[in-house]
């Protein structure tokens, strides 16, 4: 069993990345399950997905005890909470949010045998663990400073038992590095990445190093994962795409980008936007009724009794019409066409309504969405 997992907040800025990652997971035909961990307040509304399972975790930005605002805390904290709460037993592909899957990762891993993406810029020096001198302050918190950390970064392929073992120390070391290391003005931006390597070394979890991810600056995207966290430039050095300022679902300037992995990513993004705008994405989703769901029809609404839930799910007329067409055979585009023939409603409005209602039905356990890959 392989689970692909990534961590986000509930912000709108994270949502477009999460949707794009989800689509790439489908397009790559990655086996297993896709899980999105959302670090957010208990009263916040969780985002919904057609395929990814969404799990709420407590936010750690800012750190609840150190009062340090740093998004990197959310990664170890959310993974630790999820692994312990759900007693996960599987091979994990842990991705950064700024990632798309281009090829499936098919190998599973056993405890004690992890694989990490090669990190050529891993900070080296004469300090503890072979880190720069600025890390000397952490010597008081680490017993064996002669260990050699694996020079890896995300994505990583690791067994859940190993990650659960080291996650608490990973979180602790992130805070220690943030609080003590002063290599540049301000605190260390890669603290959670360095902390991961130190925790892996302390818990004797070896990592093979592979080229799991290409960067947008590479000449070609020949790895399973493409990391688009850095801005993409034109041949003249002008920024044509910056993930931090990008207006979600606006068309990227594909042809202006320098040839290479960056242009390939913009082409993928542009193609996905085209599928969203045309409604063609709906043809790639087939709703399947979950086993055991029972329905009761009333004059003005329908009730669904879903196994494992105390209260029935109420469907209004629109949702009932969509539910009636979920026959395990039709894809969402077929359902749009049938409803368009019955009702005088613009197609784009129907697409939005159907997508919203189906995702809601899935979140309540009434349907599952199967990917239809040509």
User: Which range marks the domain in which residue 327 is found?
Assistant: 283-371
64 in any annotated domain: yes
Q: Are strands 294-297 and 302-305 parallel, antiparallel or unpaired?
A: antiparallel
Nearest-10 crossing angle of helices 332-342, 317-324: 120
Burial 255-287 (b: 16+ CB within 10 A, else e): ebbbebbbbbbbebbeebbeebeebebbbbbbb
- What's 158's domain CATH number? 3.90.550.10
Would 109 be classed as within a structural domain? yes
Q: Is residue 130 part of a domain?
A: yes
Q: Count of domains in the chain?
A: 2
pLDDT at 186: 54
Whether residue 309 sits in one domain with residue 171 = no
State how far the Cα of 142 lies from the Cα of 319, in Å rounded to an integer: 57
Specify whether 195 is located in the same domain as 300.
Answer: no
pLDDT of residue 373: 62
Mark which of 184, 210, 236 sits at the end of a domain.
210
Query: Considering the domain boundaries, does residue 223 fall inside one?
Result: no
Identify whether residues 154 and 295 lie together within a single domain: no
pLDDT in tens, the chain (374 residues): 999 999 999 998 899 999 999 999 999 999 999 999 999 999 988 887 878 999 999 999 999 999 999 999 999 999 999 999 999 999 999 999 999 999 999 999 999 999 999 999 999 999 899 999 889 999 999 988 889 999 999 999 999 999 999 999 999 999 999 999 876 555 577 999 999 999 999 999 999 999 999 999 999 999 999 999 999 999 999 999 999 999 999 999 999 999 999 999 999 999 999 988 887 888 888 899 999 999 998 877 899 999 988 899 999 988 999 999 999 899 998 999 999 898 888 887 888 888 889 888 988 889 988 877 65
CATH of the domain at 319: 3.90.930.60
Looking at residue 68, its pLDDT comes to 93
Give me the pLDDT at residue 185, please: 54
Q: Which of 193, 210, 227 is the last residue of a domain?
A: 210
242 assigned to some structural domain: no
pTM, 2 dp: 0.87
Same domain, 205 and 64: yes
Q: What is the pLDDT of residue 141?
A: 93
| Spatial separation of the C-alpha atoms in residues 262 and 241, rounded to whole Å | 9
Phi/psi at 314 (5° precision): -90, 135
Residue 243 lies in a domain: no
Residue 296 forms part of a structural domain: yes
- C-alpha Rg value of the chain to the nearest Å: 23
Q: Are 21 and 148 contained in the same domain?
A: yes
Identify whether 310 is part of a domain: yes
């Amino acid at each position: 069993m392989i689970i692909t997992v990534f961590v986000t907040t509930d912000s709108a800025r994270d949502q477009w990345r999460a949707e794009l990652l989800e689509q790439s997971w489908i397009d790559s035909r990655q086996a297993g399950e896709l899980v999105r961990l959302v670090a957010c307040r208990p009263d916040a509304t969780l985002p919904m997905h057609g395929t990814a399972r969404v799990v709420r975790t407590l936010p750690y930005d800012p750190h609840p005890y150190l009062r340090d605002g740093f998004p990197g805390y959310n990664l170890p904290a959310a993974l630790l909470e999820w692994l312990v709460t759900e007693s996960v037993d599987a091979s994990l592909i842990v991705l950064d949010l700024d990632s798309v899957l281009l090829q499936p990762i098919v190998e599973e891993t056993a405890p004690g045998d992890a694989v990490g993406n090669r990190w050529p810029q891993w900070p080296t020096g004469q300090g503890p663990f072979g880190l720069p001198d600025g890390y000397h302050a952490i010597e008081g918190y680490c017993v064996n400073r002669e260990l050699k950390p694996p020079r890896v970064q995300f994505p990583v392929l690791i067994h859940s038992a190993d990650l659960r073992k080291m996650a608490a120390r990973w979180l602790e070391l992130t805070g220690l590095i943030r609080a003590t290391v002063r290599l540049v003005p301000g605190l260390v931006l890669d603290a959670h990445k360095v902390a991961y390597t130190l925790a892996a070394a302390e818990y004797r979890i070896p990592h093979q190093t592979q080229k799991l991810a290409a960067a947008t600056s590479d000449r070609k995207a020949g790895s399973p994962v493409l990391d688009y966290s850095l801005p993409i430039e034109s041949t003249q050095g002008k920024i044509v795409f910056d993930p931090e300022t990008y207006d979600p679902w606006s068309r990227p300037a594909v042809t202006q980008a320098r040839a290479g992995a960056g242009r390939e990513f913009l082409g993928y993004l542009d193609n996905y936007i085209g599928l969203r705008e045309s409604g063609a994405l709906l043809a790639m989703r087939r709703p399947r009724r979950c086993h055991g769901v029972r329905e009761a029809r009333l004059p003005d609404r329908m009730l669904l009794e879903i196994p494992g839930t105390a209260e029935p799910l109420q469907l209004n007329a629109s949702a009932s019409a969509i539910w009636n067409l979920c026959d395990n055979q039709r894809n969402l585009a077929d359902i749009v066409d049938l409803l368009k023939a019955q009702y005088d409603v613009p197609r784009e409005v129907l697409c939005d309504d159907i997508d919203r209602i189906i995702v809601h039905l899935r979140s309540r356990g009434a349907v599952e969405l199967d990917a239809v890959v040509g």
